[in-house]
Amino acid sequence: MSKTYSRSRFDETIEKVAKSLELRPGTEEDIEDLKKSIMSKIEDMGYEAVAVGSSARGTYLPEKIDVDIFFYLPGETPREDLERIGLEVGNKALSEYSPETHYAEHPYVKAEIGKIDVEIVPCYKIKDKITSAVDRSPLHHRYLIERLDEDKKKEIKLLKKFLRNMNCYGAKEEVQGFSGFLCELLVLKYGSFKAVLESALKWKRGKVIDLEEHGEISFKDPLVVIDPVDPERNAAAAVSEEKLGRFMVNSKKFLEEPTTENYENSITINKNLLRNKNLLLITIPYPKDTVSEIAWSQLRKMNDDLVKTLQEKEFEVYRSVHWADEKKNTCILLDLRNTKLPKYQKHRGPPFYLKDHLNKFTEENEEVFVEGNRVYSWRKREEKEVEQAVKNFLQDTKRIPSRYKEQTEEAEVTTNLKKILKKKEVVKEYLRP
Ligand code: CTP
Ligand code: MG
């Protein structure tokens, strides 16, 4: 389809967005001061510190500022010592800001200072081989800082925000989308936000982007962006096919009609449309004291198991989405073809040529009939109402992932549209293109 918008309309829209992404006066200086003071504390303890990540490169969004500070330990330091020293140094450097320990590939210390998150991470100083996932970050920083100018930084922020608006920003389990680093690489490759979108429309499954032309290892992921500092790693490995699709579909929409609404991925909730559907919402209290990665991956698993169970019971699930606010609620929303099923269920028997099996089947079943080369019978259905089937699933604790076993006792199941509409985030997730 030809593009019907004028160039200026696209530019006008993104200019407006770019303005909203500018920092409030003084913010940059505050970040700089904070960075320096924490880095000098680490250096006073005898370690070399480096600022990495988006706040060191000026590619962060004003709504979520995190300062990533790494410090080096010699390559021969044993892993346990790296972890222990990492926590000691981090806790000391952040002692006045109530630091917390977090767990990624290895533990690190984090503190919230006003609106800024500060993370202190130990890593090995690389000579030849990357031994821990975080060792790459300083190399990424060195690679990018040499190649990004102010103009590219602006384009990166536009891409990050565009992805964030459609819940495709971030490599974490709950998002399975585009990391900040990946956004930086894409803009570097294609030159601008717009060029990334235009190219994305042409991507085929397994598209490979290889900035440094390393080109040796092949990956099976839907999108492959070879990490320029580590050719053995796909920097886009976290991107799920669904999130890739969402990005491509929304890119097309925005390029064809570059309005602020399309950039923001605004969702209008059409009640009439929803009223004519068979929706069912399950609300479960968010699991306590659980790392968010685990809460989300178990939620996804529970969602998949539930859908499988319902399909086996002949309830056809058109779509299902889930959401967690990471504080109070976890939701699963189902869009069903049917909420009620007939009293009897068709039960498949053996081929009628197998005499022993046939005898057994006719002894055990009434109303036997033949269809094709088999016998069938009618059986009374155990669960005729989908609400009941869902409740039974939630009570079957063997099937519920560990973190949700207790929580599902307090689960609420409803088909009431008014109640469903109150859980806006999950409804939006359902309605997104
Ligand atoms: N990193 C990476 N792959 C990821 C996550 C992180 O390579 N999936 C590395 C990158 O070098 C990144 C650094 O870790 O720059 C810090 O990660 P993070 O704070 O999550 O991302 P930022 O790039 O800083 O982006 P932002 O904080 O703005 O989301
Ligand atoms: Mg960061």
Q: 40 CA to middle of ligand 2, Å? A: 20
Identify the three-state secondary structure at position 34. Answer: helix
Q: Choose the residue to mutate in 21, 54, 136, 142 for probing ligand 1, maximizing ligand atoms within 8 Å of C-beta.
A: 54
**Closest alpha carbon to 340 in 318, 313, 376, 319:** 313
Residue type present at position 298: Q
Average pLDDT over residues 45-70: 95
φ and ψ at residue 66, rounded to 5 degrees:
-125, 135
Q: What is the structure's pLDDT at 6?
A: 61
Query: Is ligand 1 within 6 A of the CB of residue 179?
Result: yes
Atom of ligand 1 nearest to the CA of 227: 7
What's the first-to-final CA gap in the chain, in angstroms?
A: 19
Q: 0.85 cut: is pTM over it?
A: yes
For residue 70, give the ligand nearest its CA: 1
Q: Residue 91 class from Cβ within 10 Å (0-12 exposed, 13-18 middle, 19+ buried)? A: middle
For residue 234, give the ligand nearest its CA: 1
* CA–CA gap between residue 350 and residue 373 (Å, rounded): 9
Q: 53 CA to middle of ligand 1, Å? A: 5
Q: 334: which residues sit within 8 A by CB, 6+ positions away?
A: 279, 280, 281, 282, 306, 307, 310, 317, 319, 320, 390
Extract the tokens encoding 95: 């002692």
Residue nearest to atom 4 of ligand 1 (CA): 179
Q: How many CA atoms lie within 13 A of 367 on its CB side?
A: 9
* CA–CA gap between residue 306 and residue 314 (Å, rounded): 12
Identify the three-state secondary structure at position 433. Answer: coil
Atom of ligand 1 nearest to the CA of 139: 11
Query: Is ligand 1 within 6 A of the CB of residue 137?
Result: yes
- What sign results for the dihedral spanned by CA atoms 216, 219, 224, 227? negative
Q: Inform me whether the pLDDT recorded for 4 exceeds 60.
A: no
Residue nearest to atom 14 of ligand 1 (CA): 137
Average pLDDT over residues 359-384: 96
Q: How many CA atoms lie within 13 A of 95 on its CB side?
A: 6
Q: What is the structure's pLDDT at 128?
A: 65
Query: Is ligand 1 within 6 A of the CB of residue 66?
Result: yes
Residue nearest to atom 19 of ligand 1 (CA): 53
Q: Inform me whether the pLDDT recorded for 3 exceeds 70.
A: no
Average pLDDT over residues 109-115: 92
For residue 178, give the ligand nearest its CA: 1
Q: Inform me whether the pLDDT recorded for 19 exceeds 90.
A: yes
Q: Choose the residue to mutate in 68, 116, 162, 187 for probing ligand 1, maximizing ligand atoms within 8 Å of C-beta.
A: 68
φ and ψ at residue 272, rounded to 5 degrees:
-65, -40
Residues 326-362: pLDDT tens digits? 999 999 999 999 999 999 999 999 999 999 999 999 9
Query: Is ligand 1 within 6 A of the CB of residue 177?
Result: no
Range scoring the smallest mean pLDDT among 10-14, 157-161, 293-297, 300-304: 293-297
Q: What is the structure's pLDDT at 2?
A: 47
Q: Inform me whether the pLDDT recorded for 240 exceeds 90.
A: yes
Residues 251-275: pLDDT tens digits? 999 999 999 999 999 999 999 999 9
Contact indicator for 126, 217 with CB cutoff of 8 Å? no
Extract the tokens encoding 421: 């509409």
Contact indicator for 151, 195 with CB cutoff of 8 Å? no
* CA–CA gap between residue 232 and residue 58 (Å, rounded): 27
Residues 274-297: pLDDT tens digits? 999 999 999 999 999 888 888 999
Contact indicator for 120, 109 with CB cutoff of 8 Å? yes
* CA–CA gap between residue 306 and residue 218 (Å, rounded): 35
List residues bridging with 143 in a β-sheet. none
Residues 115-154: pLDDT tens digits? 899 999 999 987 667 777 788 999 999 999 999 999 999 9
pLDDT averaged over every residue in the chain? 94
Average pLDDT over residues 20-28: 91
Average pLDDT over residues 7-14: 90
Atom of ligand 1 nearest to the CA of 181: 23
Kindly report the number of other CB atoms within 10 A of residue 270's CB atom: 9
For residue 54, give the ligand nearest its CA: 1
Q: Inform me whether the pLDDT recorded for 373 exceeds 70.
A: yes
Residues 408-432: pLDDT tens digits? 999 999 999 999 999 999 999 999 9
